[in-house]
């Protein structure tokens, strides 16, 4: 194995620290460490050719499209992503206003502007409002089981369905309307699957569901792209800190490794990359996505992780949510339309789908958000989660475009609706260094598993060594799945190292 060369070598400049991954967690940790004089030997190893990870903005359709993170959830003073974005002047005036920051959405997605049914008619606004109100009141109820000894059923999905069954028993409308109501509710289940990044709400644990914390503020976007934020953090780091195209293969820990350039010095960790280069270190902050950890659990750590930690990695949920952008010559929607809901009249949350994915994958699509028009370009952004989303990744652009053209023609009742000019989509499940979109607390796991994942190694007894530290969105107990959870987790682990090195340091935490 070759040894690394360059900036981080040399002794007498404090501990040698490696950060694995340059998403917002890794960049946040690196920025914080670089500002402390004790951390002059720092490197970030990134598997791909770019920084930002699941924050990924691309030029497209005459503007910017977000293939990963879309909104700042809860943009208000308690949100560090909002604060940083404001500091770097990346937000619009309205998004910064006090008024926006005070809005309480409860984390619910707003009402659609229009709802199309699969038979080609618009669904009555009244029914949609009634079903949205029922669905979100039930979602709010799920949070009440957090501090109860026993939840009535294991999953959020089962709870919602049980309650919906009871409500449906009291519906007095004709059979067709009752069926339509269930179909509308099914569409809200699909939205919730996108929010939780899961295939089914039956996989999401009920008791800990309320632990996810919603901050105040009306969700906002970055006019110039989310990646402007990670670019700004990156620009604040010394130039050669990030090493790109350096996928880490195995982290050897609890060892005593030497290096030719530093005779006599011993390092407890050795990070081995896929190209066989090796980086000895005193501390390593791992920020790779949970999906990657799940897939490489058997080979990524040597020795293997303690059984409880490995079990937490297996148990915490990590699913797929993707976006499909469609570009149109002319908009077929009204100028004030923001969100188009699609309701499949043959679907019900109370019945399981039995057909093969290739025939029904598009029925999981929640509909489309209308992107602000860039010049004369008109773009819709569809969201789709779960196994259907993973199946979509196996199709070609042409197949996706054809299927969605057929869907749009069918639901608008316009067989001549011009096909979109082009399609662009994310494929997060196929991405080898991500393997999905974001984490959720799955049935069989609790917030304790998240805390367990976040615990540094080695465990108790050898505490002061802090050889391996864990950050990334999946390690934040109350803000998992978000960019602000990821950023806070990076700061948390940087502060842990700073406190070890400099016990007198004034740290702004706790980062909970």
Ligand X SMILES: Cc1cc2nc3c(=O)[nH]c(=O)nc-3n(C[C@H](O)[C@H](O)[C@H](O)COP(=O)(O)OP(=O)(O)OC[C@H]3O[C@@H](n4cnc5c(N)ncnc54)[C@H](O)[C@@H]3O)c2cc1C
486 is a contact residue toward ligand X (CB under 6 A): yes
Q: What does the alpha-carbon distance between residue 145 and residue 166 come to, in Å, rounded to a whole number? A: 19
> Of these, 16, 42, 43, 53, which contacts ligand X (CB under 6 A)?
53
Q: How far is the CB of 413 from ligand X (least distance, A)?
A: 30
- Among 3, 23, 21, 2, smallest CA distance to 248 is for 21
| Contact (CB, 8 A) for 151 and 444 | no
> Of these, 14, 112, 382, 472, which contacts ligand X (CB under 6 A)?
472
| Contact (CB, 8 A) for 279 and 250 | no
Q: What does the alpha-carbon distance between residue 99 and residue 112 come to, in Å, rounded to a whole number? A: 22
287 is a contact residue toward ligand X (CB under 6 A): yes
Q: Which residues, numbered 152-191, are part of the site for ligand X (CB under 6 A)?
A: none
Q: How far is the CB of 359 from ligand X (least distance, A)?
A: 25
32 is a contact residue toward ligand X (CB under 6 A): no
- The secondary structure element, H or E, covering residue 272 is strand 269-273
Q: How far is the CB of 390 from ligand X (least distance, A)?
A: 13
User: Do the strands 57-60 and 63-66 form a parallel or antiparallel pair, or are they unpaired?
Assistant: antiparallel
Residue partners of 400: CB distance under 8 A and separation at least 6: 324, 392, 423, 425
Q: How far is the CB of 286 from ligand X (least distance, A)?
A: 9
| Contact (CB, 8 A) for 205 and 155 | yes
Residues in the chain, overall count:
512
481 is a contact residue toward ligand X (CB under 6 A): yes
Q: What is the DSSP string of 289-320?
A: -HHHHHHHHHHHEESPPPHHHHHHHHHSEEE-
Query: With CB under 6 A as the contact rule, which of the stretches 161-169, 341-349, 374-382, 433-441 interacts with ligand X?
Result: 433-441
| Contact (CB, 8 A) for 427 and 454 | no
Number of helices (H) and strands (E) in the chain: give both, helices first: 15, 20
Q: Identify each DSSP E strand in 21-101 by its residue range.
A: 41-45, 57-60, 63-66
24 is a contact residue toward ligand X (CB under 6 A): yes
- When the beta carbons of 159 and 226 are compared against ligand X, the nearer one is 226
> Of these, 70, 199, 283, 410, which contacts ligand X (CB under 6 A)?
70
> Of these, 155, 437, 467, 501, which contacts ligand X (CB under 6 A)?
437
248 is a contact residue toward ligand X (CB under 6 A): yes
Place of tokens 């109350």: 478
Q: Which residues, numbered 328-387, are part of the site for ligand X (CB under 6 A)?
A: none
Q: How far is the CB of 27 from ligand X (least distance, A)?
A: 8
Cis-peptide, bond into residue 143, ω within 30° of zero: no
198 is a contact residue toward ligand X (CB under 6 A): no
268 is a contact residue toward ligand X (CB under 6 A): no
> Of these, 289, 317, 420, 456, which contacts ligand X (CB under 6 A)?
289
Query: Token pair for residue 470?
Result: 């864990």
Q: How far is the CB of 331 from ligand X (least distance, A)?
A: 24
> Of these, 14, 15, 21, 420, which contacts ligand X (CB under 6 A)?
21
> Of these, 18, 29, 34, 45, which contacts ligand X (CB under 6 A)?
45
State the CB neighbour count (10 A cutoff) for residue 87. 11
318 is a contact residue toward ligand X (CB under 6 A): no
434 is a contact residue toward ligand X (CB under 6 A): yes
| Distances in whole angstroms, Cα of residue 248 to Cα of each of 27, 239, 284, 455 | 17, 21, 12, 21
State the CB neighbour count (10 A cutoff) for residue 477. 21
Distance of CA 302 to the CA centre of its chain: 28
- When the beta carbons of 412 and 483 are compared against ligand X, the nearer one is 483
428 is a contact residue toward ligand X (CB under 6 A): yes
> Of these, 15, 23, 217, 225, which contacts ligand X (CB under 6 A)?
23
**What own/partner pairs with CB < 8 Å and gap ≥ 24 does 109-113 have?**
109/191, 109/195, 110/338, 110/339, 111/339, 112/339, 112/340, 112/341, 112/367, 113/333, 113/334, 113/336, 113/337, 113/338, 113/339, 113/340, 113/370
> Of these, 22, 40, 115, 389, which contacts ligand X (CB under 6 A)?
22
145 is a contact residue toward ligand X (CB under 6 A): no
438 is a contact residue toward ligand X (CB under 6 A): yes
Q: Which residues, numbered 380-409, are part of the site for ligand X (CB under 6 A)?
A: none
> Of these, 3, 9, 13, 48, which contacts ligand X (CB under 6 A)?
48
294 is a contact residue toward ligand X (CB under 6 A): no
Per-residue binding string, ligand X, 1-20, x by CB under 6 A, is: -------------------x
> Of these, 483, 492, 497, 498, which contacts ligand X (CB under 6 A)?
483
Cα 405–Cα 408–Cα 412 angle in degrees, nearest 5:
145
Query: With CB under 6 A as the contact rule, which of the stretches 22-30, 85-93, 327-335, 373-381 interacts with ligand X?
Result: 22-30
Number of residues lying near ligand X (CB under 6 A): 39
Q: How far is the CB of 474 from ligand X (least distance, A)?
A: 7
Query: With CB under 6 A as the contact rule, which of the stretches 62-70, 85-93, 116-124, 412-420 interacts with ligand X?
Result: 62-70
Q: How far is the CB of 105 from ligand X (least distance, A)?
A: 13
Q: What does the alpha-carbon distance between residue 187 and residue 114 come to, in Å, rounded to a whole number? A: 13
Strand partners of residue 177: none
| Positions that interact with ligand X (CB under 6 A) | 20-26, 45-48, 53-55, 68-71, 73, 247-248, 287-289, 292, 321, 323, 426, 428, 433-434, 437-438, 472-473, 481-483, 486
């Amino acid at each position: 194995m070759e040894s690394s060369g360059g900036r981080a070598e040399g002794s007498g400049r404090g501990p040698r620290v490696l950060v694995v991954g340059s998403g917002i967690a890794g960049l946040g940790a690196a920025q914080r460490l670089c500002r402390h004089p004790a951390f002059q030997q720092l490197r970030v190893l990134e598997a791909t050719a770019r920084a930002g990870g699941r924050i990924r903005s691309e030029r497209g359709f005459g503007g910017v499209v977000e293939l990963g993170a879309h909104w700042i959830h809860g943009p208000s003073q308690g949100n560090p992503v909002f604060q940083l974005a404001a500091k770097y002047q990346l937000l619009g005036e309205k998004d910064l206003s006090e008024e926006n920051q005070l809005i309480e959405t409860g984390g619910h997605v707003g009402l659609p502007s229009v709802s199309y049914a699969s038979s080609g008619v618009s669904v009555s606004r009244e029914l949609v409002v009634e079903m949205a109100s029922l669905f979100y009141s039930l979602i709010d109820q799920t949070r009440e089981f957090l501090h109860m000894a026993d939840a009535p059923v294991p999953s959020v999905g089962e709870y919602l369905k049980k309650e919906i069954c009871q409500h449906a028993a009291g519906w007095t409308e004709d059979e067709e309307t009752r069926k339509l109501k269930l179909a509308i509710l099914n569409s809200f289940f699909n939205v919730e699957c996108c929010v939780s990044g899961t295939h089914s709400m039956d996989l999401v644990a009920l008791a800990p569901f309320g632990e996810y914390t919603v901050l105040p503020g009306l969700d906002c976007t970055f006019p110039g792209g989310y990646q402007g934020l990670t670019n700004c953090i990156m620009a604040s780091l010394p130039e050669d800190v990030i090493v790109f195209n350096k996928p880490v293969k195995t982290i050897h820990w609890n060892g005593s490794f030497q290096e030719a350039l530093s005779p006599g010095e011993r390092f407890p960790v050795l990070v081995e990359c896929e190209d066989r280069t090796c980086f000895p270190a005193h501390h390593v902050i791992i920020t790779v996505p949970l999906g990657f950890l799940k897939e490489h659990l058997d080979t990524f750590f040597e020795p293997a992780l303690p059984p409880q930690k490995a079990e937490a990695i297996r148990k915490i949920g990590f699913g797929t949510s993707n976006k499909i952008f469609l570009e149109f010559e002319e908009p077929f929607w009204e100028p004030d339309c923001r969100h188009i809901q699609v309701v499949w009249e043959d679907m019900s949350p109370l019945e399981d789908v039995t057909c093969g994915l290739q025939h029904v994958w598009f029925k999981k699509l929640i509909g489309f958000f209308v992107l602000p028009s860039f010049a004369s370009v008109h773009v819709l952004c569809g969201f789709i989660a779960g196994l259907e989303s993973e199946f979509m990744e196996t199709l070609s652009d042409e197949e996706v475009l054809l299927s969605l053209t057929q869907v749009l023609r069918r639901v608008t009742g316009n067989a001549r609706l011009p096909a979109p000019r082009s399609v662009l989509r994310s494929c997060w499940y196929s991405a080898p260094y991500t393997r999905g979109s974001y984490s959720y607390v799955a049935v069989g796991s609790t917030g304790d598993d998240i805390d367990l994942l976040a615990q540094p190694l080695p465990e108790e007894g050898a505490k002061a060594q802090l050889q391996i530290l864990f950050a990334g969105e999946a390690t934040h107990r109350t803000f998992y799945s978000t960019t602000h959870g990821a950023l806070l987790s990076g700061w948390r682990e940087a502060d842990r190292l700073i406190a070890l090195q400099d016990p007198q340091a004034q740290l702004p935490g706790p980062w909970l």
